[in-house]
Amino acid sequence: MASRKEGSGAAGGGFGGAKGKGKAAAAGDSAVKQVQIDGLVVLKIIKHYQEEGQGNEVVQGVLLGLVVDDRLEITNCFPFPQHTEDDADFDEVQYQMEMMRSLRHVNIDHLHVGWYQSTYYGSFVTRALLDSQFSYQHAIEESVVLIYDPIKTAQGSLSLKAYRLTPKLMEVCKEKDFSPEALKKANIAYENMFEEVPIVIKNSYLINVMLWELEKKSAVADRHELLSLASSNHLGKSLQLLMDRVDEMSQDIVKYNTYLRNVSKQQQQKHQYQQRRQQENIQRQSRGEPPLPEEDINKLFKPPQPPPRMESLLIAGSQINTYCQNIKEFNAQNLGKLFMAQALQDYNN
């Protein structure tokens, strides 16, 4: 199960024993084509962040529902309770089992279909999230992770996206080999690591009627607040996070270059060692002595371990690309608000 950990977007762990009802998807074909979410689930996720999410604090929870053909219907959810590492007696798996058992007793959908997590300026693509989602999809084929962005939502547009790991990445995670050679052989790049699943939010007729009533009662002046330009703090924070990720990427490049230099240096040492052995055997042969015994050169010169490539892919592709997209959307959004504000001003005049 995904669990809360300091400084990470998600935590590893799987939901043992649970299996999805859908049939296994063919290679390259996703088991889920669409995610349908009840409006109540969206409100619960938003409420969870508003109550427990402070600043860059990440909140997580469990998604419940059922699978209908190739559509995943999320009908309920419940949050992970707030706790610290000092709560050693707290068992998250036991807590989730008890919650699901209680929901089953009151005839509410209790099948485990994934998990959700908030994000801080789009920085959700981490190794911890990758491990958690792999555990979920390995145990429950149709499971997804919902990513809720409270900052974009506060700007007037609900930001909720569903992601799954691609079949290629699932195979690599099963092998647990993230070396550059393994990722190159599997043809893994950041473009084909995650797949986004379309989301449809569905409400009952009574809820739709209530929303219409609330919209009629809302003040018109409040709606104009959406036309105000976004704070420059958002742009500054996105740029700062982008620079941090670029620095991390530069450090990974330095590590990889160091690895290549060590490999080249070791190859030279092997070649020199073999030449010395060959010359010594020639001298021993001229003296009528037997040649030196054969040695396993790989044991004498152990190859250096290559740095893991997965973290570099996550930083270079997903995170940097997300921050660039945030900055692009920020500028486009402000430009659109300027045009709308000017149009309203001309209309009022």
Is residue 113 within 8 Å of residue 64, measured between CB atoms?
yes
Share of the chain above pLDDT 70, in %: 71
Instruction: Classify residue 310: in a domain, yes or no.
Output: yes
Instruction: Classify residue 238: in a domain, yes or no.
Output: no
Highest mean pLDDT among 66-75, 119-128, 205-214: 66-75
185 and 263 fall within a common domain: no
According to the model, what pLDDT value does residue 51 have? 86
174 and 104 fall within a common domain: yes
On the question of pLDDT at 49 being above 80, the answer is yes
110 and 148 fall within a common domain: yes
Instruction: Classify residue 200: in a domain, yes or no.
Output: yes
170 and 309 fall within a common domain: no
Instruction: Classify residue 23: in a domain, yes or no.
Output: no
Residue spans of alpha helices (H) in the chain: 39-52, 92-105, 127-139, 150-154, 167-175, 180-185, 205-217, 220-223, 232-286, 297-300, 310-313, 320-348
Q: Which two tokens stand for residue 144?
A: 């997804």
* Element (DSSP H or E) covering residue 65: strand 60-68
According to the model, what pLDDT value does residue 74 have? 93
Q: At which of 165, 187, 222 does a domain end?
A: 222
Mean pLDDT of 47-72: 85
Strands 199-202 vs 71-79: parallel, antiparallel or unpaired: unpaired
Q: Which two tokens stand for residue 280?
A: 């010594």
Computed over every residue of the chain, the mean pLDDT equals: 75
139 and 272 fall within a common domain: no
38 and 156 fall within a common domain: yes
pLDDT in tens, 292-305: 787 777 777 787 87
Total domain count, the chain:
2
pLDDT in tens, 134-150: 988 988 888 999 999 88
218 and 251 fall within a common domain: no
According to the model, what pLDDT value does residue 349 have? 61
According to the model, what pLDDT value does residue 338 have? 57
167 and 70 fall within a common domain: yes
On the question of pLDDT at 116 being above 90, the answer is yes
Q: Distance (Å, rounded) from C-alpha 173 to C-alpha 165?
A: 10
326 and 258 fall within a common domain: yes
For the entire predicted model, the pTM comes to 0.65
204 and 254 fall within a common domain: no
| Structural domain range at position 57 | 34-81+91-222
200 and 279 fall within a common domain: no
On the question of pLDDT at 11 being above 50, the answer is no
Instruction: Classify residue 55: in a domain, yes or no.
Output: yes
The DSSP-derived string for 243-291 is HHHHHHHHHHHHHHHHHHHHHHHHHHHHHHHHHHHHHHHHHHHHTTPPP
Q: What is the domain-level CATH number for residue 141? A: 3.40.140.10
Q: Distance (Å, rounded) from C-alpha 59 to C-alpha 50?
A: 10
When pLDDT is cut at 50, 70 and 90, the band that residue 199 belongs to is: very high
- Of 79, 64, 41, 60, nearest to 132 by C-alpha is 60
According to the model, what pLDDT value does residue 16 have? 37
According to the model, what pLDDT value does residue 336 have? 57
When pLDDT is cut at 50, 70 and 90, the band that residue 228 belongs to is: low
Is residue 195 within 8 Å of residue 30, measured between CB atoms?
yes
51 and 182 fall within a common domain: yes
- Of 217, 220, 166, 210, nearest to 188 by C-alpha is 166
Instruction: Classify residue 27: in a domain, yes or no.
Output: no
Instruction: Classify residue 199: in a domain, yes or no.
Output: yes
Instruction: Classify residue 239: in a domain, yes or no.
Output: no
Contacting residues for 15 by C-beta, under 8 A, at least 6 apart: 1, 93, 96, 112, 135, 136, 139, 140
